[in-house]
Structure formats: C-alpha cells, structure tokens
C-alpha cells in the first residue's frame, strides 16, 4: 500500500513538474492589473477532515462548509453547486481537450469526460474545498499582508481590488464567502481559457502552482485522484 502511494505521488510530482516547465506564462498578463496581492503560503492543517457519503462513495472534505451537512450559516456547498453551471463556466465542464478542457484535470480525474453534470460539480467543488483549506484553513476572516496589499477571505483575494481580476468579481467580494466563491470560479475559468490547466504557474493562487512555495498542488491533485468518481470503472 505504501509503495502504491509512493508511486502515485511520484507520478503527480513528475506530471506537475512537466506542466510547470512548459506552462504558458501569459495568464498573469491577461488580467487587468499586475499588482497582485500574493496568496497565502499555505496554512497548517488545523481543521479536521469531514467524512461524507454521496451515492455510496466515501469522500473527505477539508472544510465542513463544503460537506454534505454544512453549518446552516456557512453553507458554502449550496453556493458552489448553485453557481456552477456549463452556461456560466463552460470550460470547467468541458470534456474534450481540443475544445479547451483543462488537460491536467482530465489527467488526474480520468473518468471526468464520462461524468454527468452534477457529478462534475462535485469534482470541481473538491478542488475549491482544497483551495480554501490550504489558502485560509476555511477561515472567512483570514488575512495576509503582501507587497501589493492585503489578501483576505476564504480564497485570499486581493482586498479592495477583487474587481481587477475577473469580469464577475466585484470590489470587496473577499468579505463574503458566497461572493468569493463566484469570483474565484470566474478567475479559475479565465485561467483555464488562457492555459488549459487547473495547476498553472501563472495562477493567482500559490496553492495551484506546481512549483509554488506552499507546495500544495500535489495534495490538491491527490484530493481528486483518489475520489471514486474520478476512477474509470474496471470492466468485469
């Protein structure tokens, strides 16, 4: 078992390293400003993972707010599922690489092209869940200082400059987890349009950069790789 886990991490490391080597650098140039507030460098794992069941699958969520039974006043799961739609964020649901599907998402979730729309939403939400955990440890008031300003909220968005990063982002979206989710999805969608990757060296978030200082891209990749929906069912 340990050998199998070691082989997987070697596979993810080599794959993400290859992505980092040839990843286009034009994403940061495509946003409205170069004065990005740095995302956090990753936090210690202070939140206990939550085990939930969905269609017979056993899935761990880092933040209880994304679990199947989120707190009433912090139901980020419902927000994410309601915001996600192929009409609003088509590249997140695209399955064909020639049409712009993120190549690394299909690599780490081989069964993604075969999933239904509602199942794809769960995979995307798992990515959001890991991003939020490693950026802010699920803390909606998390704050970090950087050379260009303050990173704030669950996605550590550039406080007061959120509207500079994507069309659907509004100023001070970082103060609201629900608005932060919508803004982050739009930023991620723009990133995929420019790089065709979830894990991009040009990502706003350090945790999505294959060679980021936080070194969390590998953990996020494994967060979806080990999810049963991502595995192609074996033929009997």
- Measured distance CA(99)–CA(212) in Å, rounded: 28
Closest CA to 40 of 175, 181, 151: 151
pTM for the predicted model, two decimal places:
0.79
Domain residues of the chain, as ranges? 45-230
Closest CA to 44 of 137, 181, 147, 169: 137
14 sits in which H/E element: helix 2-22
Note whether 134 and 145 are within 8 A (CB): no
What's the DSSP call for residue 25?
A: S
Per-residue pLDDT of the chain (236 residues; tens, 9 = 90+): 445 545 444 545 455 544 444 343 333 333 333 334 444 433 333 333 443 344 444 467 999 999 998 999 999 999 999 999 999 999 999 999 999 999 999 999 999 999 999 999 999 999 999 999 999 999 999 999 977 899 999 999 999 999 999 999 999 999 999 999 999 999 999 999 999 999 999 999 999 999 999 999 999 999 899 899 999 988 77
Note whether 220 and 62 are within 8 A (CB): no
- Measured distance CA(84)–CA(69) in Å, rounded: 19
- Measured distance CA(149)–CA(151) in Å, rounded: 7
Sign of CA dihedral 154, 160, 161, 166: positive
3-class state of residue 181 by DSSP: helix
């Amino acid at each position: 078992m340990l050998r199998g886990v070691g082989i997987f991490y070697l596979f993810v490391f080599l794959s993400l390293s290859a992505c980092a080597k040839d990843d286009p650098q034009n994403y940061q140039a495509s946003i409205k400003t170069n004065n990005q507030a740095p995302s956090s460098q990753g936090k210690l794992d202070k939140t206990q993972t939550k085990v939930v069941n969905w269609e017979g699958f056993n899935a761990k969520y880092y933040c209880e707010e994304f679990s199947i039974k989120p707190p009433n006043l912090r139901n980020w799961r419902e927000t994410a599922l309601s915001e996600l739609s192929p009409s609003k964020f088509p590249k997140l649901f695209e399955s064909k690489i020639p049409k712009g599907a993120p190549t690394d998402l299909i690599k780490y979730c081989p069964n993604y092209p075969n999933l239904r729309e509602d199942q794809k939403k769960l995979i995307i939400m798992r990515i959001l869940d890991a991003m939020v955990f490693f950026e802010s440890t699920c803390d909606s008031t998390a704050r970090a200082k950087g050379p260009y300003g303050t990173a704030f909220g669950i996605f550590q968005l550039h406080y007061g400059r959120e509207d500079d990063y994507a069309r659907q982002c509004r100023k001070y979206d970082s103060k609201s987890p629900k608005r932060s989710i919508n803004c982050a999805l739009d930023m991620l969608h723009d990133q995929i349009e420019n790089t065709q990757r979830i894990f991009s060296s040009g990502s706003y978030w350090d945790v999505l950069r294959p060679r980021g200082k936080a070194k969390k891209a590998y953990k996020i990749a494994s967060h979806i790789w080990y999810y049963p929906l991502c595995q192609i069912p074996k033929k009997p």
